[in-house]
Structures are given as structure tokens and as C-alpha cells.
Amino acid sequence: MKRLIFPSTLWLCLMAALVFSSHAQAQQLPDFTTLVEDAAPGVVNISTSRTVSSRGDPSFHGFGQEDIPEIFRHFFGDRLPVPPGGGQGQGPEQGRSEERQSLGSGFVISEDGYVLTNAHVVEDADEILVRFNDRRELEAELVGSDPQTDIALLKVDASGLPTLNLGDSDELNVGEWVAAIGSPFGFDHSVTAGIVSAINRTLPRDAYVPFIQTDVAINPGNSGGPLFNLDGEVVGINSQIFTRSGGFMGLSFAIPINVAMDVADQLRDDGRVNRGWLGVMIQPVSRDLAESFGMETPAGALIADLDPEGPAARGGLEAGDVILKVNGEDVERSSTLPRLIGRVAPGNEVDLRLLRDGREISEQVELGRWPNNGQANTSQPDTSQVRLGVAVREVDDAIREKLNIQGGVEVTNVDPQSVAAQAGIRPGDILVSIDQQRVSSAQELADVVTKLPTDRAVPLRIYRDGRSLFVALRLQ
């Protein structure tokens, strides 16, 4: 066999080509140095403290990362108690108070001292301190917060502050580069980068935010920090992660800056957020339901029930209507509806395109004001629907008297792929209690379901065909 011998000039050409190719690929990767240099002065570290009573409960100190369920969650920045002896306790019998601290991030949106962050970063805080890039530390006042979008607006007594340029989150595209600056685990002004993985994500219990999903490394302490595009403009606020370990696993979620600024403007002007309220209980349209309604593909939001005094009922909407469009925008899935309704101011009319009895019709409804107490908020997807996979309605007094029960809700629909279906729950069942807690309304059920554990099964007591029985349910 002959041995091929390459001339030295050919080797040199090959090596040069490889070097040139590597250099060309490196030039195609984004350079964040200028972005970071320009933006760093406007990014802040936020620390809070609050005093809580542990009532002498020894289990208070035993809650660690291993106890946190595997769910979409806000990363709340290492809120930990002060070590034993650091509180002002009087002993287990009388209870004691302890100082708990939290770390997060934020950024300056105006030269006169307005700072944007997440609501959960400053929740229940007794003191809020904002630390700037130049090591100045100023006490901040909470102007207002909106738990529904997880946005909080702070104010520090200062002027001439460095601000960040705000972009248009509606212009974001999947696959484009983004970067985050924040304080993960207290390491100030840490920079991470990645791409936009998806847009318009809807997460459980966060119906009003079309999240930006990225693979930017985000950890506790990044919460409330800015997400930048390559032009150095803020396009989002880092808010949540999905994790099984307590740390970053490649799935992070940011609140679009357009949503955040709309909330911030209302908090600054009114101290609260005013949202439109439709007054309906909705559920997804499954494939089987779509077929039964004569729809080619599952879409829209199915009205399972209405508040009899709500705007939808006054506007002529009915249970069984499928809402397909709001002001000309498609309701792609049920979780889209609260977002479209919530961004319309109360008192304004919305044009709704509905499917009723196999034909499409249009209705105009004047929206009400979203109730602060949450009792009448049925335009938001019911938490029981999200986690259990059921739609429910209240039981009338005649049935309660017949069965000799207090409270209870009737199951009107069960998602065949849900944990409720796996537990054997059927339409027509009357759910009386869950995890030993009575339920008398859809709102009570939603409140209970929100707090259910994922590491063990819980008992559900139901009435079926006039008889009482228990079923075991395990959330995933």
C-alpha cells in the first residue's frame, strides 16, 4: 500500500483554513461586553427583611430545598431564618420572633428613583434596601405590587439615577440571543446569556402573563432582574424557573416588559391595577368536546358556568358557549382568555366571537372591574381545573338538604388525561372535602387545591348516586 505524503504547503493551507473557520464562527457569536458595561449601573441588588413569629415550632427550621415540590415556582432568593440566637424569642411556650432575609434583583426605570422588581421579592417586607453598582445603598418605599403579574414598583429618594433602555417585547422572536444581569445567591451583577426558547407561555396559576421562556441560566437571587436583547434593551423581567433540584435546569421564564410597564404605570398612577372582568368559569376544549361541538380542531375557552350578576351573564353569554375571539384576537386555548380580558380596562366593551349550538355569533359585553378579594373572579382559569383537571359548580340547597351535607361542589366535566380522571372522579360527583378540608364553592376548592402537596396522596370525599365514598388523589 502506498503512503500518501502531503506537501508542507498543503498542511499549512489546511491549518490556515481551520484557523480562519474557527475565527469566523467566533465572530458570529454575540459579544455582550458593551451591553454589560452600559447596563450595569442601572441594575440593582434588592435585599429585604421581615420579622416573623415561629411560635416555637421546631419544624420551622427544618424546611429545606428537599422539601420544595417539583413545580413551576418563583425563585424567592434564599429566604432563610436568622441562626438560633439571632431572634428575639421568649421560648417555645410563648413563641418567638425571628428576622428573615431575602435577596433579589431589580432595575431603574426613571432618573427620579423608580425601580422595578418582582412582587414576591418584596412580599411582606418590613424593610427594603436597594444597592447600586457604585455600592450606594438606599432604603426603598413600596409604591405598589401586583401579585397577579408578580410585578412590584419601588421608589428611592434619589435623582439623576442611571436608567435602562426599554425594548418592545412584542418584537421578540424565538431563537434570538438574550442576556440577564442579576444577583444569583447574592453575587452582584452576574451576567448569563442564552436564547429565547419560546414566547407566550402560560404557566399554572399565572394566567395574566404571556411568559418568555429562555435557556438563560437563572438562579435564586436573579428574581426581578432584567432580560436584555442584543441592542441592550430590557425585554423582560426574570421571574420563575422550573426545577427539580432547586437550581437552574435550563427552563427560565421572564415577564414581558410590555406587560410589566403597563402594570408599573398603573401602580405609579393609582397604586393598584385595574383589570377587566368577564365573570365566567372556563375550561379547555378537549378533542372530544371539539368533536361534539362540530369544531374541526380544539380551540377557544368553553364557558362552564357564569356569575349570575357578572358582565357575561348581563351581556347574554351562556354556559356552553365557546369563546373563539376577543376583539378580533384568537383565543387559542382557554388560558389565553384571562390575558386578553385582563388587559382591557373596566367599563370598556369587548367584541366576542362565540360558538353556540354549532354556529358562530358575535356579542358585545361591557367588562366589570376585577374584584380585589378574588371571590368573584371566574374569568381566571380555576386552579382546580389546572391541577385536578375538573370543572365544578355549586350545589343547590335542595340537593344539599336531600343528601344532608354542608357545602359541596358538583363536578361538571373531567379532563380524561387529568389526575382527577386517574382517581376515578366522574361528572356528576359531588365533591364535599379534599384533604379533610370542606369545600362549598369553586373558589374554596381552588384555594384548597393551591396548597395541596405533591409528595403524597390526599383523600377526597365525594357523593355518588346518593352514597358517600372516598377516593385517593395524588397530584403530579
Q: What residues act catalytically?
A: 120, 150, 223
Query: Between the CA of residue 348 and those of 23, 271, 354, 363, what are the distances in Å?
Result: 57, 21, 19, 14
- Give the three-state DSSP class for 18: helix
The SS3 of residue 49 is strand
Please tell me whether residue 266 adopts helix, strand or coil conformation.
helix
Contacts of 4 (CB under 8 A, 6+ apart): none
**The C-alpha cell of 105 is what?**
434583583
DSSP 84: T
Q: Positive or negative CA dihedral for 110, 177, 260, 103?
A: negative
Task: State whether residue 202 is helix, strand or coil.
Answer: strand
Whole-angstrom CA distances from 357 to 265, 279, 295, 299, 320 are 42, 21, 11, 16, 9
- Cell numbers given for 85: 440566637
Query: Residue 67 in 3-state DSSP?
Result: helix
165 closest CA partner among 31, 257, 29: 257
> What are the backbone angles phi and psi of residue 328, rounded to the nearest 5°?
85, -10
Residues 6 or more apart whose CB falls under 8 angstroms from that of 93 comprise 56
- Ramachandran category for residue 428: left, alpha or beta (phi over 0 → left; psi -120 to 50 → alpha): left
* Residue 413 · residue 444 · CB < 8 Å: no
Q: Closest Cα to residue 440, out of 373, 395, 388?
A: 395
Cα(131)–Cα(37) distance, integer angstroms = 17
**Whether 364 contacts 352, CB under 8 Å:** yes
**Side-chain-side CA neighbours of residue 119 (13 Å):** 14
Q: What is the CA radius of gyration of the chain?
A: 26
Residue 323: closest CA among 298, 289, 352, 364: 352
DSSP H helical ranges for 271-396? 287-292, 311-314, 336-342, 383-387
